C-alpha cells in the first residue's frame, strides 16, 4: 500500500512534465504551422479594431458613446479567458487538448464576421461584437498556451515572436484591405442601398470570415497534440478541475497565489493597454475628423480618413512584423525588461507626436514607433511570464494574465465617455495622445519587474503539487 502510494506520488510529482510535451527542436515550417491560425484570428481582430468605431458612427453613435459600445471586448475577455484557459488545461479529446477550442471559436467568429457589415442598427452591431469577441477569445487564449505546451524553453521567445509575426501579417492585411479594395480594385467606399456600411468594409469582413476559419483549420490539421503519458492521472485532474464552476474556483485560487513577477507585470499591462485601447478606440475617427477635416460620418472625407487610418494600422503592423524578428536577439542581448521599456517609450512618443502632425503622410512615419511598441507588447510580457508560472497551470495563468489587458479596457469603456464629454470636449485626437502618456507610464513600471529565480519557482511548484496530490487522494479515498 505504501509502495503504491509512493509510486503514485512520484508520478503525480511529474505533473508538469506530463503536460509540457515538447520536441527538442521545432523547425521553421513547424513553427509557422502551429502559429498560422493566429494570422486569421488577428485578421478578425484587425478588422474590428480598424473599423468598429467607424461602423458605430455610421450607425449613428456619438464620440462619447463609443467607449460603452466597445465594452463587449474587455468584458468577454474578463469572463471567457480564464474559464477557457482552465478548461483547456484539463481537456483531452480525440482532437487534442487546445485544438477543440481553436476550432469552436473560429466557427462562431466566422458567423459574426459574415453578419457584422450587414448590421441595420447599433443594437445589432453591438450584439455581433459580443459574439465576435467571445469567439475570438475562445480561439486565442488556448493558442497562447498551445505554443508554450509544445515548444522547449529555449524556443519559446522565438515561438511567441512567430505569433507576433502572424499577428502583424493578419493586422496589416486586415487594416489595409478596405483602402486596397478602393484604390486597386475600384470598389466604392460609400454605403450601398441595402446597408449603411461602406462596400469596401463589407467585402473585407467577408474575406476576414474565410481567413479566420481557414487558417485555424490549417493549424488544427497540421500540428498534432499528444496525450499525457499518464492519462488516468490526467483524467482525475480533469474531473477535479474541469468544468465551468471548477474553472471559476481555480481562477480565484490562481489569482490569489499569483507569482510576484506576474503581479509586477500586471501593473505594466494595465497602463500599456490603457494606452493601446485609447488608440484603437479613437485613432480612426481622429484621423477622419482632425486630419482630413470631416465634419460628418456621411461625408466622403470621413470615408477617406477611415481608409487612411486603416493604412496607418497596416504600417505599424508591418513594422511589428519586421521588429518581431529582432526581439529574441534584443531580449537576450539587452534584457527583456529593458527592451520592453524602450519599446513602450517609442510607442508613447509616437502617439504624443500626433499633436503636431497635420499632414496625412507624416502619420505613416509616426506609426513606426507604435509598431515597435506593439511588437514588444505582443511578445515580451508573455516571454517574461512563461518562465514565472508553473508549467502545469499555464493555460489558466495565461487567461488570468489577460485580466490586466481587459480591466483597463473596461475602465476606458465605463469612464472614458465622461472624460470625452466633460474634459476633452469630444476631441478624439487628445484621447489618442493621452494613450501615449499611459504607454510611457507602463515603460517606467517595466523597469521595476524582477524575474523569479528558477529554483524558487520550482520549489513553489513542488509545494503546490504536493497539496494537489493530497487533495486528489483525499477525494479518491472518500
List, as one string, the DSSP characters of 279-347: HHHHHHHHIIIIIS--SSTTSHHHHHHHHHHHHHHHHHHHHHHHHHHHHHHHHHHH-HHHHHHHHHHHH
DSSP state, residue 154: G
Cα–Cα separations (whole angstroms), residue 278 to 287, 400, 441: 14, 22, 14
d(CA 286, CA 8): 62
Helix or strand or coil: residue 93? strand
Residue 331 lies in a domain: yes
pLDDT beyond 70 at 447: yes
DSSP state, residue 1: -
Average pLDDT estimate for 426-432: 92
d(CA 388, CA 380): 13
Residue 12 lies in a domain: no
Q: Quick one: pLDDT at residue 279? A: 94
Average pLDDT estimate for 286-301: 86
Residue 272 lies in a domain: yes
- pTM to 2 decimals? 0.71
- Tell me which of 287 and 383 has the higher pLDDT: 287
Instruction: Identify the domain containing residue 358 by its residue range.
Output: 32-225+261-470
Share of the chain above pLDDT 70, in %: 81
Q: Quick one: pLDDT at residue 415? A: 87
The alpha-carbon radius of gyration of the chain (Å, integer) is 23
Residue 267 lies in a domain: yes
Per-residue pLDDT reduced to its tens digit, 73-97: 788 877 787 778 778 877 788 888 8
Residue 237 lies in a domain: no
Helix or strand or coil: residue 19? helix
Per-residue pLDDT reduced to its tens digit, 92-123: 888 888 899 989 999 999 999 999 988 888 88
Helix or strand or coil: residue 198? strand
Q: Quick one: pLDDT at residue 377? A: 92
What is the pLDDT confidence band of residue 475, given thresholds at 50, 70 and 90? very low
Per-residue pLDDT reduced to its tens digit, 152-205: 877 877 887 788 788 778 888 998 899 899 888 888 777 655 567 888 889 999
Q: Quick one: pLDDT at residue 451? A: 67
Residues with Cβ < 8 Å from 115, sequence gap 6 or more? 128
* CATH, residue 295: 1.20.1250.20
- Tell me which of 310 and 227 has the higher pLDDT: 310
State the total domains in the chain.
1
Per-residue pLDDT reduced to its tens digit, 389-412: 777 666 677 767 877 888 888 888
d(CA 28, CA 39): 16
Residue 417 lies in a domain: yes
Q: Quick one: pLDDT at residue 220? A: 93
What is the pLDDT confidence band of residue 243, given thresholds at 50, 70 and 90? low
d(CA 360, CA 191): 24
Average pLDDT estimate for 355-361: 90
Per-residue pLDDT reduced to its tens digit, 26-50: 888 899 999 999 899 989 988 988 8
Residue 251 lies in a domain: no
What proportions of the chain, in percent to the nearest 5, are helix, strand and coil? 80, 0, 20
pLDDT beyond 90 at 439: yes
Amino acid at each position: 500500500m505504501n509502495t503504491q502510494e509512493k509510486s503514485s506520488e512520484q508520478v503525480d510529482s511529474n505533473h508538469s512534465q506530463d503536460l509540457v510535451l515538447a520536441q527538442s527542436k521545432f523547425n521553421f515550417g513547424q513553427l509557422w504551422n502551429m502559429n498560422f491560425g493566429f494570422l486569421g484570428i488577428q485578421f478578425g481582430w484587425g478588422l474590428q479594431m480598424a473599423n468598429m468605431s467607424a461602423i458605430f458612427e455610421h450607425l449613428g453613435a456619438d464620440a462619447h458613446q463609443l467607449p460603452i459600445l466597445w465594452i463587449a471586448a474587455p468584458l468577454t475577455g474578463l469572463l471567457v479567458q480564464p474559464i477557457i484557459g482552465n478548461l483547456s488545461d484539463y481537456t483531452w479529446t480525440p482532437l487534442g487538448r487546445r485544438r477543440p477550442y481553436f476550432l469552436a471559436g473560429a466557427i462562431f467568429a466566422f458567423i459574426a464576421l459574415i453578419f457584422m457589415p450587414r448590421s441595420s442598427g447599433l443594437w445589432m452591431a453591438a450584439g455581433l461584437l459580443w459574439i465576435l469577441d467571445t469567439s475570438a477569445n475562445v480561439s486565442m487564449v488556448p493558442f497562447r498556451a498551445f505554443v508554450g505546451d509544445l515548444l522547449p524553453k529555449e524556443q519559446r521567445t522565438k515561438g511567441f515572436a512567430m505569433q507576433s509575426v502572424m499577428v502583424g501579417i493578419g493586422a496589416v492585411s486586415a487594416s489595409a484591405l478596405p483602402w486596397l479594395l478602393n484604390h486597386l480594385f475600384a470598389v466604392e467606399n460609400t454605403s450601398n442601398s441595402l446597408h449603411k456600411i461602406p462596400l469596401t468594409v463589407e467585402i473585407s469582413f467577408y474575406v476576414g470570415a474565410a481567413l479566420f476559419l481557414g487558417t485555424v483549420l490549417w493549424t488544427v490539421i497540421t500540428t498534432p497534440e499528444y496525450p499525457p503519458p499518464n492519462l488516468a492521472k490526467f483524467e482525475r485532474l480533469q474531473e477535479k478541475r474541469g468544468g465551468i464552476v471548477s474553472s471559476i474556483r481555480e481562477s480565484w485560487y490562481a489569482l490569489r497565489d499569483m507569482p510576484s513577477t506576474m503581479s509586477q507585470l500586471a501593473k505594466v499591462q494595465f497602463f500599456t493597454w490603457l494606452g493601446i485601447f485609447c488608440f484603437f478606440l479613437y485613432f480612426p475617427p481622429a484621423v477622419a475628423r482632425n486630419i482630413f477635416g470631416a465634419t460628418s460620418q456621411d461625408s466622403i472625407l470621413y470615408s477617406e480618413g477611415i481608409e487612411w487610418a486603416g493604412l496607418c494600422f497596416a504600417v505599424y503592423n508591418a513594422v511589428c512584423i519586421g521588429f518581431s524578428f529582432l526581439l529574441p536577439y534584443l531580449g537576450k542581448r539587452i534584457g527583456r525588461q529593458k527592451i520592453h521599456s524602450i519599446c513602450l517609450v517609442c510607442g508613447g512618443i509616437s502617439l504624443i507626436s500626433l499633436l503636431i502632425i497635420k499632414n496625412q503622410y507624416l502619420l505613416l512615419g509616426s506609426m513606426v514607433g507604435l509598431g515597435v511598441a506593439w511588437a514588444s507588447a505582443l511578445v515580451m510580457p508573455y516571454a517574461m511570464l512563461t518562465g514565472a508560472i508553473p508549467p502545469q497551470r499555464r493555460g489558466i495563468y495565461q487567461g488570468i494574465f489577460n485580466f490586466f489587458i481587459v480591466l483597463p479596457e473596461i475602465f476606458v469603456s465605463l469612464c472614458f465617455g465622461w472624460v470625452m464629454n466633460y474634459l476633452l470636449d469630444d476631441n478624439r485626437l487628445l484621447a489618442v495622445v493621452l494613450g501615449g502618456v499611459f504607454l510611457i507610464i507602463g515603460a517606467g513600471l517595466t523597469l521595476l519587474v524582477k524575474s523569479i529565480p528558477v529554483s524558487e519557482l520550482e520549489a513553489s511548484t513542488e509545494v503546490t503539487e504536493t497539496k494537489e496530490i493530497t487533495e486528489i487522494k483525499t477525494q479518491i479515498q472518500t
